[in-house]
Amino acid sequence: MANERTLILVKPDGVQRGLVGEVIARIERKGYTLEALELRTLARATAEEHYAEHTDKPFFGELVDFITSGPLVAMCVAGEGAIAGMRTLMGATNPLEATPGSIRGDFATVIGENIVHGSDSVDSAKRELGIFFPDRF
């Protein structure tokens, strides 16, 4: 596996519940590096661009409404196999299927508010990092 970069978001529910430090601690304990970190509230246009692949799905509006509902933390996480490693650390998208010990398995209860987002491929990571950190990656 190669050294990779991936976008990780602590979504508004994670920020509101005070889980930012816990998520960052797990990332760092795993051995990954934070190359960028920013607390921000997303503009609707940015959220729509981020979730563009879901535009035609019935839950698109709910995704955008939720991700823009409050501050989130955007991070560039780097390391060997960071994309797959972070997907494992986060757990399954549906918290009811997430392994105990994963972020979603330990802290999330519903799929619509599942604490974190992570890029699912090298191409997605490049696209998403370009949206959130356009001058850096």
Please list the active-site residues. 117
Q: Which residue has the tokens 């780097």?
A: 78
| 75: number of Cβ within 10 Å | 26
Rounded CA-CA distance 79/99 in Å is 22
